[in-house]
Structure 1
Amino acid sequence: MTATGLIATLCLLGTAQAHAQDTRMTLGAVAGTTGVGADLAWRFNDRLGVSARYTGGLEWNTDYSTDDVHYDGDVSLAASKLTLDYYPFAGGFFLSAGLMLPDIEADVVGRPRNSTYQFNGQEYPADALGTLNGTVTLADGIQPYAGVGWRQSHRSGFGVFAEVGVIPTDPDVSLRTSRGFEHEDNPLSAQLRQEIRQEEQRLENEAEKWPVYPVAVVGVSYTF
């Protein structure tokens, strides 16, 4: 048998098996801790399926203070997911494992808690530095995902959808002064750069207190 013939035979066998096992497609509209979006699932037998999801558009404002600086942040979240789903009881309950591409970050603006910035005992005039601007990233890039959920893909028609899971976080903080004081040719610039790096590390240490980010979504679905 030629390679082409073998591929054609495998395709026919796969198609026949799919029809024999009554495969189903489920489309859902969901909302949760990573935003709002859509969930698409293909259940190719009673106990196995694959699913993909995209959510985004979730934003809110928050604030946080260190010993030296008060920060205001605009948080934005979005995430894509591709998983293998296992239905142990051949019903709606499933276990899910795969990959997620999150984009969870905040644009931050920091201002001194007093009239001057104080880093490790060294004072810097607020008028000279301006504000501390930067980005705090909680999770970005491909991350492993594990979760459990309920999807009524075992029968046709409308149903409910719910899923909870976790992804690991990988915090990263980048700060700069709004007036570029740390780049100027002055005796304090090198020291200020070091102080800013230490402030970044303090923020990262705080973010690392959340080693995982909870993913929870609910919605409605239709199975074809």
Structure 2
Amino acid sequence: MKNALKNSLLASAIGLGMMATQAQADGGLGVGIGYGLLAGPTLELNYPINSYLVARGSVSSGMGLNQTNRVDNVNYKIKADGGIHRLGLNYHPFQGSFFLSAGYAINQFELTANARESGTVTVGDDTFDGTVAINGKLKWDNAPTLSLGWGHSPKQGWGALFEVGAIFTGAADVSLKGTTNAPGRQDDLNKELRNEERKLKDDVAKLDFLPILQLAVTYRF
């Protein structure tokens, strides 16, 4: 029994030593700077565990995009912002640039739509004489990720990365709120906003994930 235990510990130590030696041979800490759809500018750190596995983590600042859309006489200022931060593990099945990746996303990405109109304002199936302010938001949960791509294999030097995949968030949380100074019409506005909120929830329920599409330049020390 003692010999078996000793042999087992010795084999484990040799295995760990081989993994550490392989990781050192493959290179050290890697960094990447890129741009992701929805995520925006991205900074990534990664480290090769061995020639098959690479641990990675990234932070992003969000796209910060703004545009104005006009719907039913109302101009909505729409903003897409908030970063998507990720932790993951890449598997390089051929010990080359191709990889499969699984991980988890801390999701701060959201869409907001804000409007303020005066006069005769249409909201849903009703009209309001006065000033109407509307604030809408779509927000997604933190969630697991799956992706594949071609990127820096665990070797030293410069490289590039292309990645495509999905963040399995489920449907977005939808919120619509508003106020009006039209006398006695706040309850009517609330009713129309609830109806519009239900319609929007039905629309976004069909999309239960966020896409991953990323390009980056990498360097491993």
Cα offset, 1:154, TM superposition? 2.8
Cα offset, 1:88, TM superposition? 0.7
Contact 2:98 2:149 in 1 (8 A): yes
From 51, 75, 100, give the equivalent of 2:56. 51
Is 2:167 the partner of 1:167? yes
Cα offset, 1:48, TM superposition? 1.6
The one-letter code of the counterpart of 2:201 is: E
Matches within 5 A, 1:99-178: 99-110=104-115, 115-120=120-125, 122-127=126-131, 130-137=132-139, 139=140, 141-169=141-169, 170-178=171-179
The one-letter code of the counterpart of 2:86 is: K
Give structure 2 stretches of 5+ with no counterpart: 1-9
Contact 1:69 1:110 in 2 (8 A): yes
Give structure 1 stretches of 5+ with no counterpart: 1-8
Alignment partners' CA distance in 2, 1:176 and 1:11: 60
How high is the TM-score relative to the length of structure 2? 0.78
Cα offset, 1:51, TM superposition? 1.0
Contact 2:179 2:186 in 1 (8 A): no
Counterpart of 2:196 in structure 1 is: 199
Contact 1:162 1:218 in 2 (8 A): yes
Distance 1:119 1:157, change over 3 A: closer
Alignment partners' CA distance in 2, 1:93 and 1:38: 20
Q: Which SS does the other structure have where 1:90 is aligned? A: coil
The one-letter code of the counterpart of 1:90 is: Q
Distance 1:153 1:115, change over 3 A: same
Could you give the per-residue CA deviations for residues 131-187 of structure 1, whole angstroms, max 9, x where no partner exists? 2123222x2x321111012222332111112211111343122222245x59x9x4x
Among the aligned pairs, what percent are the same residue?
Answer: 27
Is 2:23 the partner of 1:19? no
Alignment partners' CA distance in 2, 1:36 and 1:10: 44
The aligned length equals 209
Distance 1:22 1:79, change over 3 A: same
Q: Which SS does the other structure have where 1:199 is aligned? A: helix
Cα offset, 1:91, TM superposition? 0.9
Cα offset, 1:112, TM superposition? 6.6
Alignment partners' CA distance in 2, 1:192 and 1:64: 20
Alignment partners' CA distance in 2, 1:10 and 1:197: 65
Alignment partners' CA distance in 2, 1:149 and 1:58: 22
Cα offset, 1:61, TM superposition? 1.7
Contact 2:113 2:137 in 1 (8 A): yes
The one-letter code of the counterpart of 1:146 is: L
The one-letter code of the counterpart of 1:132 is: I
Query: Bigger shift: 27-36 or 63-72?
Result: 63-72
Distance 1:219 1:213, change over 3 A: same
How high is the TM-score relative to the length of structure 1? 0.77
